[in-house]
């Protein structure tokens, strides 16, 4: 009799255990996963290091959205040139790094809704009086950061403009190349260069003409993967915009 009772009890416990396993939701499983999300290490005002911490528009947006949507992440600051290859190699789950949404990148990446309208500007040394408009870019030397919209513009137009192109790993290096007079022009996303010049009263750089491109930044994952993360980003972004928190984050870094 005792053996029969023990068997019944064991069977009951086994059924209960399986029922408990079956009751976990995919949402709970998603919330427990920690995503590795890359960002550019030097791209103010979107991401940059201050007092030993990474701050900026992208960092604040990601932090706020993760709290709203209940997911965890590990931030991985790195050179921009390594971000998309890192996503492709499955070393990174996603990236928020001022990545312009383009048809070419959509072939290998899935993007969130655009979270910021940017645009590309030509930048020259402040005392350069020979480059006043985009027409004056002909025959000039360009300094660009690898893998960016600026490098894409330079590569697509260097033959037509008769220009030479030098490549750099980060924005400060390409800016310094122009300040030193070793290159005539560099290209940077408008909000980045506008922020930089607003902080530097004695800057040796200036913006030339209208924006060359107008584009949106997007949160990116490898094509066909991490759809749940993109969905959470989009949902959180909408909530931030509806609540007014999105505008508050932008106003911390960009003065209108």
Q: What is the residue-level pLDDT of the chain in tens, covering all 256 positions?
A: 434 444 333 444 333 443 444 433 444 555 568 999 999 988 999 999 999 999 999 999 999 999 999 999 999 999 999 999 999 999 999 999 999 999 999 999 999 999 998 889 999 999 999 999 888 999 999 999 998 889 999 999 999 999 999 999 988 999 999 999 999 999 998 888 988 888 887 889 999 988 898 889 999 999 999 999 999 999 999 999 999 999 999 988 886 5
pTM of the model: 0.70
CB contact at 8 A, 148 and 212: no
Give the residue numbers spanning the domain of 113: 26-117+216-253
Q: Quick one: 223 and 147 in the same domain? A: no
Which of 17, 1, 201, 209 minimizes the C-alpha distance to 121? 209
Q: Is 162 helix (H, G, I), strand (E, B) or coil?
A: coil
| CB atoms near residue 125 (< 10 Å) | 19
Q: Quick one: 141 and 174 in the same domain? A: yes
Cα atoms found within 13 Å of the Cα of residue 91, Cβ hemisphere only? 10
Q: How far is CA 134 from CA 62, 106, 175, 216, 234, in A?
A: 35, 28, 18, 22, 36
Q: Quick one: 220 and 205 in the same domain? A: no
Q: Quick one: 106 and 66 in the same domain? A: yes
Whether 81 is covered by a domain: the verdict is yes
Q: Quick one: 82 and 142 in the same domain? A: no
**Strand intervals (E) in 200-242:** 205-213, 216-217, 220-222
CA–CA distance, 116 with 132 (Å, rounded to integer): 28
Q: Quick one: 49 and 109 in the same domain? A: yes
Whether 16 is covered by a domain: the verdict is no
User: Would you state the pLDDT for residue 108?
Assistant: 98
Q: Quick one: 37 and 49 in the same domain? A: yes
CATH code at position 191 = 3.40.190.10
Whether 4 is covered by a domain: the verdict is no
Helices 57-69, 227-243: axis angle to 10 degrees equals 100
User: Would you state the pLDDT for residue 255?
Assistant: 67
Q: Quick one: 142 and 109 in the same domain? A: no
Q: Quick one: 113 and 220 in the same domain? A: yes
Q: Quick one: 44 and 112 in the same domain? A: yes
Whether 164 is covered by a domain: the verdict is yes
Q: Quick one: 108 and 32 in the same domain? A: yes
240 phi/psi in degrees, rounded to 5: -65, -40
Q: Quick one: 36 and 98 in the same domain? A: yes
Q: How many domains does the chain have?
A: 2
User: Would you state the pLDDT for residue 12?
Assistant: 42
């Amino acid at each position: 009799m005792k053996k029969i009772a023990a068997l019944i009890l064991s069977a009951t416990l086994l059924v209960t255990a399986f029922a408990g396993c079956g009751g976990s939701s995919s949402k709970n499983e998603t919330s427990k996963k920690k995503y590795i999300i890359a960002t550019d290490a030097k791209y103010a005002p979107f991401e940059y290091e201050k007092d030993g911490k990474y701050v900026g528009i992208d960092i604040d947006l990601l932090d706020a959205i993760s709290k709203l949507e209940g997911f965890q992440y590990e931030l991985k600051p790195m050179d921009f040139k390594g971000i998309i290859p890192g996503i492709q190699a499955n070393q990174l789950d996603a990236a928020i790094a001022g990545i312009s949404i383009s048809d070419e990148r959509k072939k290998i990446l899935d993007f969130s809704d655009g979270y910021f309208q940017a645009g590309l500007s030509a930048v020259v040394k402040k005392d350069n009086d020979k480059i006043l408009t985009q027409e004056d870019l002909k025959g000039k030397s360009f300094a660009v950061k690898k893998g960016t919209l600026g490098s894409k513009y330079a590569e697509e137009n260097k033959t037509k403009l008769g220009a030479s192109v030098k490549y750099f790993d980060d924005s400060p290096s390409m800016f310094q190349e122009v300040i030193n007079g070793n290159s005539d022009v560099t290209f940077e996303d408008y909000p980045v260069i506008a922020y930089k010049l607003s902080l530097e009263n004695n800057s040796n750089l200036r913006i030339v003409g209208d924006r060359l491109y107008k584009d949106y930044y997007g949160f990116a994952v490898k094509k066909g993967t991490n759809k749940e993360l993109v969905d959470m980003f989009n949902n959180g972004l909408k909530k931030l915009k509806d609540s007014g928190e999105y505008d508050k984050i932008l106003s911390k870094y960009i003065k209108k």
